[in-house]
Each structure stands twice: as C-alpha cells, then as structure tokens.
C-alpha cells in the first residue's frame, strides 16, 4: 500500500528523535511518503519504505503552497492508494485538494476533540480550524478517531450522515511504567514534601489549562503547606507559567521540569497525577499514570469515562471547574482510604495484551477498509 501523509512535526526530519522511529514502524507495514512542513531545509531522503520530503519556508503561506505543489508532483508520479491527513485543518486542506484532484481515497485522522466547545474558544486559529473541520470531515472517504468521545461528537454534529468512522486509540507502550522503581535521587530531592503531585504535557494553556492547576495550588497549600506540584513539559506558555508561579507566591510549592527520558521512574515518586485539560483527543499521559499505579484527578476530556472510570481509576471533574477540582483534590488528600483504593485499582488494572505490531496492523487494516467503496 502506497500512502501519502502530511505533518508539521519537524522532529520527523531528525533520525535521533523519538518521532522518526515511529514513522519507521509505520513504514514497516506500508510504503509511506511523508511531506513535512518545516522552517528549516532538509534534503529529501529515503530509508526502506519511508520517504521524507520537506516543504520549507519561514512564511507559513509560502510553506503551505510549497507543500501543495510538492504533493501534486508526487501524486502525478506515484500511484498512491490513499492520502491520509492527521487533522482536518489547514494542512489537511492540502490533502483533500490533492486527493480530489487525483481521485485518491482520503482518510482523515482526528487526534484532538475539535468539536468540543472549548476547542474553538482557544483563539482565532482554532475557530478557523473548527470551520475547516466542518467542511472537510463529510468529504472524507473514512475517518479514524482516537476515542469514542470524538466518534460520538462527530456523529452528533453530522447527524449520522453515513460517515465511516473507526476508533483506534493512540498506542502507549506501558511496559516500562509497570515494573520500574522510583529513582533514589528523585526521592531524596523531594523528601521534604508531604504530598507530591505531577502533571505532564505541552505548555499550551488554551488546551492543557495548567493555569487552572496554579489557581488550585493557591488554595490547596492552605490545606497542605508541604504540597508539591511538578509540571513536566515545554511549550510557548512556559514563561507565562513561570510568571504566574512567582506572582502567586508558589515558588516553594510548584516546580517546572523539562521533558525527561526517565519519566517512568519519575512518576513513581508521586502521590497523585493531575490533568486539567480543556479538551483532549485521547490522553496518553493518563494511560501512563494508570500504568505507574498513580491515583488520578482529571477533567472530563479524552479517555475519561472510556478508559478510566470516575472513582474507580480517577476522580473526574467538569472542564475548567476550579472549585470542583479543589474540592476533589482536598477530598482525595484527606481521604487516604479512597486514594489507596484508586491506587490499588490502577496497580491491578488488567491491560489488554496488544503489541505494537498488532496495533500497526490494525492501523493498516483501517486504511485498507477505507479503500472499499460504500455500498
């Protein structure tokens, strides 16, 4: 199967990043041609069944046009079986235009809950992408979504208009989180804190809403003065969070940590995992937290109620409800038996024995079914 895909993740261009090997695995089950919209130049290269091209320019519109022209050239030279786009957005528009021009089946993958009311409130960019999604989704031959939540929102929005939707969550390799032990250096570093919490994700506040956690901490340290919150990640809002920590008097209770290679063992030094997102497609970090045996408090997004259940694996709160989040955090802190019960449920969680190889074949099967004409 010959597949044309588009991406804006420049890490694909570097073979020593974690993203490139993932693309190699996809190329192990298909011939994958990948156009990366990038700000830096990289000559096209091929490795096995993986062919990577970069559409380069500092200006987004010229970069978009370069990718559009390059995609047309490739489609005229290579008999692609399918075009797949990672989101129904401005990059996805290129895929739709080229699939339509060359009469190639189009698959749209939806990794973010773009139909959530919180999504289009993010900024003018999200509002434009929301309207693009409304245009592109019904024009696809099939959809792959990462959660039942997204499937239901799409079906509701388009009133079951015969859309072919398949659910395939994001693969998470949980093995390294199941058996690892805490790092003694981290244990020593945080030994003076009586209650330790962790949250992980990109520092993009309109989506991840880490600023809500900082508001929560202002009240929670009155209940537990020796509480610690560690935010692990990076992104455009990092300096904004640093400023809020300083202004909120939280320097002794909130730490920002960069991405870490030893994240599995790092998780083991904490008492609780927090997710404050306004919207999520799935939420891989929650899967990792369950595998690490951590109790969880999270907003009602992504895999909530599908992978984790309220008061069984996690306490689930309404989106952006600071008061409810504080009440839930105080409750789980004071109620040790509840915390231990949720922790024990996660320690004993029964994992489905799905290998990465099986996942990749499911990924390919979904594409192959997309080629079958509707009857």
Ramachandran area for residue 82 (φ above 0: left; ψ -120 to 50: alpha; else beta):
beta
Residue 104 has pLDDT above 60, yes or no: yes
CB-count burial class (<10 Å; 0-12, 13-18, 19+) for 150: buried
For residue 160, the model assigns a pLDDT of: 65
The four Cα atoms 319, 322, 324, 329 give a dihedral, to 10 degrees, of 110
For residue 82, the model assigns a pLDDT of: 98
Residue 340 has pLDDT above 80, yes or no: yes
For residue 179, the model assigns a pLDDT of: 84
Nearest to 106 by CA among 97, 114, 96, 118: 96
Nearest to 209 by CA among 83, 79, 88, 121: 121
Nearest to 140 by CA among 90, 81, 169, 100: 100
pLDDT, one tens digit per residue, over 41-51 is: 888 999 999 99
C-alpha distance from residue 110 to each of 48, 198, 368 (Å):
27, 27, 18
CATH 3.40.50.2000 fits 175-347, yes or no: yes
pLDDT, one tens digit per residue, over 241-280 is: 999 999 999 999 999 999 888 899 999 999 999 999 999 9
Q: What is the mean pLDDT of the chain?
A: 94
Domains 2-169+355-370 and 175-347 share a fold: yes
Name 21's Cβ contacts closer than 8 Å, sequence gap at least 6.
Answer: none
CATH 1.10.3720.10 fits 2-169+355-370, yes or no: no
User: Given the DSSP bridges, would you call strands 296-299 and 82-85 parallel, antiparallel or unpaired?
Assistant: unpaired
DSSP structure class, residue 162? S
Task: Give me the residue spans of the domains in the chain.
Answer: 2-169+355-370, 175-347
Confidence label for 352 from pLDDT (cuts 50, 70 and 90): confident
**Which whole number is the average pLDDT over 345-374?**
89
Pair 265, 321: CB distance under 8 Å: no
Name 184's Cβ contacts closer than 8 Å, sequence gap at least 6.
Answer: none
């Amino acid at each position: 199967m010959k597949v044309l895909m588009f991406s804006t993740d420049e890490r694909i261009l570097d073979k020593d990043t974690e993203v490139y090997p993932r693309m190699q695995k996809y190329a192990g089950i298909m011939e994958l041609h990948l156009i990366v919209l990038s700000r830096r130049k990289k000559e096209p290269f091929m490795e096995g069944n993986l062919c990577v091209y970069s559409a380069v320019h500092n200006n987004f519109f010229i970069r978009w046009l370069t990718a559009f022209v390059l995609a047309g050239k490739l489609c005229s030279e290579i008999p692609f079986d399918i075009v797949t786009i990672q989101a129904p957005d401005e990059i996805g528009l290129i895929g739709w235009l080229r699939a339509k021009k060359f009469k190639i089946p189009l698959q749209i993958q939806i990794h973010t809950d773009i139909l959530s009311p919180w999504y289009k409130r993010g900024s003018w960019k999200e509002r434009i992408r929301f309207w693009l999604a409304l245009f592109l989704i019904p024009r696809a031959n099939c959809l792959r979504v990462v959660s039942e939540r997204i499937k239901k929102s799409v079906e509701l929005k388009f009133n079951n208009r015969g859309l072919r939707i398949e659910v395939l969550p994001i693969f998470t390799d949980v093995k390294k989180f199941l058996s690892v032990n805490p790092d003694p250096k981290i244990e020593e570093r945080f030994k003076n804190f009586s209650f330790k919490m962790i949250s992980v994700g990109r520092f993009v506040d309109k989506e991840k809403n880490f600023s809500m956690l900082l508001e929560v901490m202002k009240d929670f340290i009155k209940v537990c003065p020796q509480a610690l919150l560690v935010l692990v990640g990076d992104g455009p809002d990092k300096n904004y969070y640093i400023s809020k920590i300083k202004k909120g008097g939280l320097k002794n209770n909130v730490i920002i940590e960069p991405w870490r290679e030893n994240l599995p063992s790092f998780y083991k030094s904490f008492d609780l995992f927090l997710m404050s997102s306004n919207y999520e497609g799935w939420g891989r970090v929650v899967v990792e937290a369950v595998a690490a045996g951590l109790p969880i408090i999270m907003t009602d997004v992504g895999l909530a109620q599908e992978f984790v259940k309220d008061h069984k694996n996690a306490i689930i709160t309404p989106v952006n409800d600071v008061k409810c989040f504080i009440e839930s955090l105080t409750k789980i802190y004071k109620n040790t038996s509840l915390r231990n019960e949720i922790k024990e449920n996660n320690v004993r969680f029964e994992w489905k024995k799905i290998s990465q190889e099986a996942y990749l074949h499911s990924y390919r099967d979904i594409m192959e079914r997309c080629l079958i004409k509707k009857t």
